[in-house]
Amino acid sequence: MGSEVWNVLVTGGAGYIGSHTVLELLEAGFQVVVIDNLINAYKDLNSEKPKCLLIVEKLTNKNVTFIDCDITNINDLRDVFQKHTFSCVIHFAALKAVGESCQKPLEYYKVNVAGTVNILEVMRENNVKHFIYSSSATVYGIPEQLPLVEDMKTGNCTNPYGKTKFMVEEILKDLCKSDDEFSVISLRYFNPVGAHSSGQIGEDPNGIPNNLMPYIAQVSVGKRDMLYIYGNDYDTPDGTGVRDYIHIVDLAIGHVKAMTYQKTCNPMGFKAINLGTGKGYSVLEVIRAYEKASGKKIPYKIVERRPGDISASYADASVANKELGWTTTKNLDDMCADTWKWQQNNPNGYKN
Ligand code: NAD
Ligand code: UDP
């Protein structure tokens, strides 16, 4: 199994993390089929493929197969598995806006939980036994202790989005208990930010960004007047929230390492692995780093705390280091420089 070329199904591969991961998988020699229903991705008007994947093909000089498919439709998934043979599935497709998940919980449970069960069912029908899951630090809920370690308690989540990530992890644990040939790596991402160093692919949020870095990026190109900082009375060194920001390319490479690990190891059941740098930065520190990288002033105003926010979160990343041989190579300055490059080149994202 170690030397054959793996054909990988990437769900949600037209999204922010998916597109960067597809690029790294192609560079590492994997063959890739992407499925995505493009609900949060931009379709090129002159092609059947999403724009980000056309750019990925250009950057890598390799081909990606793209299929427009909704994971909530199990028969469409069956068609995909009938036309292609896969060794592994990397599952990104999901809805991801925390606020929206409180307004539309059923949509979130349908796509994130039922959609995932559909994929697992079709994998079982086709005897595909390797699964890499996009989980999140949010599964730890309100941290009892920092840094966050994989064997800490999970599940005290404050919103439906977080609960879907926790529920899927529980489903995956049960599935692994029922089938000792099944291998799952659940990658618990901390805060992915930044863009590919080419400045040609990056994060392209719809409407007002929910997350800090894309919001700052839009302020830096004049699309928004100022950043609103959600609270400066947290129990952190400067009172603003602290997070473990991780460069998107480091995160993408984490998936390649996880796949390579699955390819070379015997079935190992369910394994959760944090992908973070292990270091937390405050909102004010991120603003300062971005100002340095861009030469732009980021005006801000302190406002009320955002409901559901925690004061601080950062990873213990030693399991990824020991088990996957993975470590981050890019720091906060790189994250800001690459975000700025992408935003400056593409002030309107892929719609340029
Ligand atoms: P994204 O929205 O950019 O990508 C998700 C992709 O899934 C999009 O291209 C979207 O069109 C597609 N999709 C959504 N519903 C679908 C459906 N029913 N069928 C087929 N495709 C569908 O999000 P992202 O930031 O790239 O996140 C990828 C994964 O990582 C998600 O599972 C998310 O929950 C998880 N995650 C993201 C973050 C983050 O900060 N970005 C942090 C932790 C975990
Ligand atoms: N944040 C902020 N203003 C914004 C967006 C985020 O002050 O417009 C803060 C937020 O309160 C948190 C940090 O930035 O302390 C990271 O927030 P983000 O939404 O990016 O990630 P998450 O909270 O999901 O970890």
pLDDT at res. 262: 92
The pLDDT assigned to 156 comes to 87
Instruction: Please report the pLDDT score of residue 34 as a whole number.
Output: 98
* Predicted local confidence at residue 2, as pLDDT: 54
User: In angstroms, rounded to a whole number, what is the distance separating the alpha carbons of residues 143 and 145?
Assistant: 5
Question: How do strand 242-243 and strand 281-282 relate by DSSP bridges?
Answer: antiparallel
Ligand 2 center to 335 CA (angstroms): 16
CA 313 to ligand 2 center in whole angstroms: 11
Short-list 291, 317, 310, 192, CA closest to 245 = 192
From residue 342, give the alpha-carbon distance in Å to each of 19, 64, 115, 220, 262.
14, 22, 31, 12, 33
Q: What is the distance in A from the centroid of ligand 1 to the CA of 237?
A: 32
- For residues 150 and 133, what is the distance between their CA atoms, to the nearest angstrom? 15
Distance CA 200, CA 186 (A): 28
Q: Whose CA is nearest to atom 1 of ligand 2?
A: 212
State which of 24, 39, 107 you would mutate to test the pocket of ligand 1, scoring each by most atoms of that ligand within 8 A of its C-beta.
Answer: 39
Show the low-confidence residues of the chain (pLDDT under 70). Answer: 1-3
Q: How far apart are CA 170 and CA 127, in angstroms?
A: 21
CB 164 within 8 A of CB 94: yes
Rounded Cα distance, 112 and 10, in Å = 15
Q: Which numbered ligand comes closest to the C-alpha of 193?
A: 1
Rounded CA-CA distance 138/256 in Å is 23
Residue nearest to atom 5 of ligand 2 (CA): 212
Nearest to 283 by CA among 225, 188, 213, 190: 213
- List the catalytic residues: 161
